[in-house]
Amino acid sequence: MQFASLAAHQMRSPVTAIKSILQTLLGGYVGPLSDKQRELLGKADARCDQALEAIRRMLTIAQGVEREEWAERVVDLAGVCRRTLPRYAPEALERDISLASEVPSGPVYVLGNEAAYVELVTALVDNALKYTPSFGRIRVCVEELSEADRVRLTVADSGVGIPEDQREKIFEPFFRTAAVKSLTVPGTGLGLAFVKAIVDAAGGSVRAGKSDLGGAELVVEVPAARPEETAEAEEKRKKEARPMKVVIVGGVAAGPKVASKIIRLMPDAEVTIVEKGKLLSYAGCGLPYYVSGVVPEQRQLMSSAVGMVRDAVFFQQVKNVRVMNQTEAVEIDRRGKRLRVVDRVNNRQLWLDYDRLVLATGASPVVPPIPNVQLGNIFTLHGVHDAEGLKIALAERRARDVVIVGGGLVGVEMTEALTYSGSRVTIVELAPQILGILDWEIAKLVELHMESHGVKIHTSTRVERFEGTEKVAAVVTCRGILPADLVILGSGVRPNVTLARAAGLELGPTGAIRVDERMRTSDPDIYAAGDCVECHGLVTGKPCYVPLGSTANKQGRVAAINICGGRNPG
């Protein structure tokens, strides 16, 4: 198992890199694709997803086996099944497959690791769905074998079945029956091997047979928890029977990710998002494209992959998450574990109790202290409100000469939107290069590409003041005067930590909230994620500040897993 863990770690990076390259090709960023090329690349991308899922499963199992003494852990296997099976209901419904659950409503305790048992049930149901045709049947059954002090989990289906002479071989890595191969159903051949690894670690057994439904039947038997262990687990379950209350401050990037992941892992949790603004879960990285008109409607910034708008109604009805938008969090009572909020529509105040609090308060744009920075048509770009102002200015054709102060990600992304609208764009950057996150050679290539499209770039240049009457007319730099109808300040952001500081939470040297690797703050019941927290540099080993949407989403996922009792990273 230690070798499997090492191999999985080594495989994850190259497979992820291959997937990134495939996504770049599929996105058309290196040129147009023929239909055949797109089809082949799509198949390769799907295989990468399967490989990454296999790697993730391998790591989960290996970590569970290595980290804990299985004989000392008690898991409610019936509860694991009840939480896992609903995830497959949409696919079963779409394919007209009957997914029957014969799982006791109460707990059935076994020995082992909960995360690994989740993977076990997932692998068995995945396998059954994969090889059961439309209009077929699947049955999941959990029963206690009191005479043998064991618990049996059975997953039966009406699929292709398993030949009698191959029923032992299917648990070998990469083995697939001839009938399965003929179906051309994608798979890694590792799912049942993972199942056997988990069962062996738990001291159980697994076998394959013929189901009374006509297909395959996979039977797992694992040791039941001893009476004294069951009594202790039952007492703990009763104490935890009340749904966990999670309050999340912030509803743009990390906050919605935390909420969605918690509901997936703990469907009974009471999750509330408190958001000061009106809009939720919008794609901040898409704002330049909204300004340029590539994204024509504001609602598309909040749309899911299937076109559903992620508004308060969506989160309540689809995610079962309560949303309080246009509501500001103003005080944390750590001793009483409650949060004071103010509804900015009617100015009503109330306290929200919590078991766990998540701060996803984001960041605010830095407005440099440059003389006359208050002139009209000088914008930041850190939200839909800013984007609307830019959009109006461009629509009225009042922005022929645009100066972007700062050559970071926001400034560079905006150049495409502005050149698309016909504006003449100049970037002014104090540092010797734009895009400080890149090596000098790569940044220079970006500069040359932008200049070839008419963008002027002034590096090592300081802005001294803005000139104009009511609206900006010129930007005075240390190297001369630049005409400007519109200015965008892209001087970075600073973390919003007012609430955390007032509550006495520890801040790091970057000025952001200090968190551990599991996104816990200095208060073990308060987590934080997104642009308000500092990260740990893998190369330098020092605290750093990385306010990126991708980072925020990953941090939100990590926070949610740990809030729900998981352990991430392992």
Tokens 């009191």 correspond to what residue? Answer: 146
Q: Please tell me the distance from the alpha carbon of residue 376 to that of residue 439, in angstroms, as a whole number.
A: 36
Q: Which two tokens stand for residue 525?
A: 């019941």
b/e per residue 359-389 (b: at least 16 CB within 10 A): bbbbbebeeeebeebebebbbbbbbbebbeb
Q: Please tell me the distance from the alpha carbon of residue 334 to that of residue 557, in angstroms, as a whole number.
A: 24
Report residue 386 CA to chain centroid gap.
26
b/e per residue 31-51 (b: at least 16 CB within 10 A): eebeeeeeeebeeebebbeeb
Q: Please tell me the distance from the alpha carbon of residue 18 to that of residue 276, in angstroms, as a whole number.
A: 40
Positive or negative: CA dihedral 343, 347, 348, 352: positive
Contact 561, 552 (CB under 8 A): no
Is residue 48 annotated as part of the catalytic site, yes or no?
A: no
Residue 92: count of CB within 10 angstroms of its CB: 20
Q: Please tell me the distance from the alpha carbon of residue 457 to that of residue 459, in angstroms, as a whole number.
A: 6
Q: Please tell me the distance from the alpha carbon of residue 135 to that of residue 402, in angstroms, as a whole number.
A: 61
Q: Please tell me the distance from the alpha carbon of residue 370 to that of residue 465, in angstroms, as a whole number.
A: 6
List of residues 6+ apart from 517 with CB closer than 8 A: 536, 569
The SS3 call for residue 275 is strand
Contact 356, 519 (CB under 8 A): no
Question: Read out DSSP for 385-450?
Answer: HHHHHHHHHHHTT--SEEEEE--SHHHHHHHHHHHHTT-EEEEE-SSSSS-TTS-HHHHHHHHHHH
Tokens 């494209």 correspond to what residue? Answer: 289
Contact 523, 502 (CB under 8 A): no
Closest C-alpha among 109, 118, 144 to residue 225 = 109
Q: Please tell me the distance from the alpha carbon of residue 376 to that of residue 87, in angstroms, as a whole number.
A: 51
Please pick, among 48, 81, 285, 564, the residue that the annotation labels catalytic.
285
Contact 312, 280 (CB under 8 A): yes
List of residues 6+ apart from 432 with CB closer than 8 A: 440, 459, 460
Closest C-alpha among 431, 424, 433 to residue 453 = 424
Q: Which residues are catalytic?
A: 285
